[in-house]
Amino acid sequence: MDEHEVHRAKGQFKFGEFFSLINQVSPKYWLMSIGVLIGLVGTAINLVVPKIAANLINTFSKGIDYHLLLTVIILFILSSALSVVGGALLGFFGQDVVSKLRQKIWAQLMTLRVSYFDEVKAGEMSSRLVNDSSQVQELLASKIPSALSAILTVIGAVFMMFTMDWHMSLVVVASVPVAVVLLTPLMLYAGRLSRKRQDAIADFNGSASEVLGEIRLVKSSNAEKQATQSTNGVIGRLYQIGLRETVYDAAMGPIMMMIMMGMVFGLLAFGIYRVSHGAMTIGTLTSFLMYIFNLIGAVPMLGTVFSEMSKAAGATTRIREILREPQEDFTVGDSINVEGQTLRASHVDFGYTTEENILTDVSFEAKPNTVIAFAGPSGGGKSTIFSLVERFYEPTSGIISIGDRPLNQVNLASWRSQIGFVSQDSAILAGTIRDNLTFGLSGEYSDEQLWHVLSLAYAKTFVAEMPAQLETQVGERGIKVSGGQRQRLAIARAFLRDPKILMLDEATASLDSQSEAMVQKALESLMANRTTLVIAHRLSTIVGADQIYFIEHGRVSGFGTHQELMSNHPLYREYVQGQAINQ
C-alpha cells in the first residue's frame, strides 16, 4: 500500500474491514447484543416520560396526580438503571475485545520476520498495540451503541412530537438539519486533528524509545543536545496539533451552546405563541422541550460517531497492516536431530534489499564437533552469515543445509532449539537471574541445575555474592551486572540450553583483559564436543580453529587452516599480524 492509499484509507471508514478485524478475535457479540438491547429499552422508556409528563402538567389545575407523578419518577429511575446496566455490559464487551486484540497483535509481533523489525521502530509498534487498539475499542463498545441509542432517540422523539402537535414538529424537524449542517464541518475537522495526533504520538513514541533505549550511547557521545533537538521536532509537531485542538475545544463548546440555545429559544418562542392562541397546552410545550433536549444530546452524538469512525479507520488500517505482515512458519518442516551432521552453505547470495548484495557466492562447511572461524575486516558480512544460519533471513540464492536436508525443510522451532548463540553484547532481559537463565526453555529447572551451569560458566561466585542470588533483579537490559558478568550469564544460559551447534559472535570483543580471560575459559568449556561457528578476533581463537574462512566484501576470499592461509593468503597474513600487534 503506497503513501497515498494509506492516507486515503485512514480517512474512509469501512464497516466490512472493521468487523473483519474484530471477528478475528472471536468477540462475545451476545454480550454486546444484550447491552445494546437493554440500552435501547432504557432509551425507549426515556421517550415515554415526556408524554406522561405532559399529561401530569395539564392536570395541575385540578391538583397533583400522584399516580402519574410516581409513574414519571419510576420511569426516570428505571431508564437510568437500564442505561447503567447496558453501559456496563458494553464496557465488559469492549474490554474483552481490546484484550484479545492486543493479545493477537502481540502474538503477531512475536512471530514476524526479523526484517520487519529492521524497518519499524519499537515505539511505533507500541503505539499500534496500545493506542490503536484502544481506538477500536472506543468505537465498538461505546460510540456505535451510543449511535444506535441516538438514532432511536431521534426517530422516537420525532414520532412522539408528531403525534402531539405536527405544526410544532415540522419546525423542530426543520431546525435539526440546520444545526447538523452547522456542526458537521467542526466534527470533520476534529476527526482530521485526531488522526494527525495519533500519527504524531506514534512518531514520538518511536523517537523517544529509540533514544532512551540507547541513553548510554547518547551520553558517551555527548549527543544530549542532538538527541534533544531531534525529538523536539516531533514534540513541536505534537505542540502545533495540540494548539489547534485547544482552539477547537475552546470554540466548540460556545459554538454548540450558541446553536442549541438559538434553536431552543426559537422553538420556545413559537411554542409560547401557539399556547397563547390556544393551539397547544402548556404540558405539550413542556413535553416538546424535553424531547428537544433529548435531540440536543442525540444529534451531536451522531456527529461524534462519524468523527470516531474516521479515527478508527486509521487505527484499523494500521492494525490490519501489522496482521497482514508475513510470519515465520513454525509448523512446516521436519523436526530432526542435528547432532553428528554437517552444516553446509553452497553458493549463497543475500542482500537486505534487492539493490545490493551483502553476501555473494558464499560457501562453507562445518563438520560435526569442529571449530569453524570466520575472520576478516569489519563489515565484510560475517554477522550476516550467522543471521542466515539462525534463519532470521532466507538466502536470495544458494542453499544452507544440515546433513543432506536444506534448512528451509527443517522445522524452524526445532532448528533454533538446537542452536546456542553468544554475541559480543549478549542480551539480558529485565527480571531475575533465574528468569534469564531459563528464558525460552520449556520445563522446570532445579536450583542445582542452575548453579551447575553457572559454575561451568565461571559465574557461580559473583551470583552467590549477590543478596538475592538467583532471584537478583538484573535491571533493564542487564544494567545491574557488568559486561563480563553479562557474558558469563549468557554462556550459562547456553550451557543450560545444551545446543548441538554453538555460534559465538566476537563474544569477548568488548571486555577488559580480566573479564576476557574468565569468559574465554567458559567458552572453551562450552565449545567442547560441539560444532562451533565463531566470528574470531582473538588470535588464539583463529589459530585454534579447525577451518578458517576469510570474509571480505561479502565473499570468501580464502579458507583453510591457519598455516595454509598464512602461506597463501596475503591479506589474511596482514590481518593476523595486525591482530597480533593489537593484542
3-state secondary structure 526-547: HHCCCEEEEECCCHHHHHHCCE
* In this structure, CATH architecture of domain 9-163+300-327: Up-down Bundle (1.20)
| pLDDT of amino acid 103 | 82
φ, ψ dihedrals at 337, nearest 5°: -90, 120
Please state the rounded mean pLDDT for residues 329-356: 84
Residues in the chain: 583
CA 130 to chain centre: 6
Q: Whole-prediction pTM value?
A: 0.68
State how far the Cα of 37 lies from the Cα of 83, in Å rounded to an integer. 10
Give the residue from 534, 371, 525, 530 showing the smallest Cα distance to 457.
Answer: 525
pLDDT computed for residue 4 by the predictor: 41
pLDDT over 50 (residue 459): yes
Question: Cell match 552469515: residue?
Answer: 385
- What is the phi/psi pair of residue 452, to 5°? -65, -45
Per-residue pLDDT tens over the stretch 261-283: 777 777 778 878 877 877 777 77
pLDDT beyond 60 at 510: no
Domain range annotation of the chain: 9-163+300-327, 165-278, 341-425+498-579
Give CA–CA dist 250/230, Å, rounded. Answer: 31
Q: Is there a contact between 565 and 548 (Cβ–Cβ < 8 Å)?
A: yes
Which residue did the predictor score with more confidence, 229 or 454? 454
Q: What percent of the chain lies above the pLDDT cut of 90? A: 0
Kindly calculate the radius of gyration of the chain based on its CA atoms and give it in whole angstroms.
35
**pLDDT band (50, 70, 90) for residue 220:** very low
Considering the domain delimited by 341-425+498-579, tell me its CATH architecture. Answer: 3-Layer(aba) Sandwich (3.40)
Which pLDDT tens digit goes with each residue over 372-399? 888 887 788 888 888 888 888 888 888 8
Task: Single out the residue of 366, 368, 326 nearest to residue 346, CA to CA.
Answer: 366
DSSP 477: G
Write the pLDDT tens digit of every residue in 175-192: 767 777 777 777 667 767
Mean pLDDT of 399-407: 87
- Look at residue 2 in the predicted model and tell me its pLDDT: 42
- 160 C-beta neighbours (distance < 10 Å), count: 20
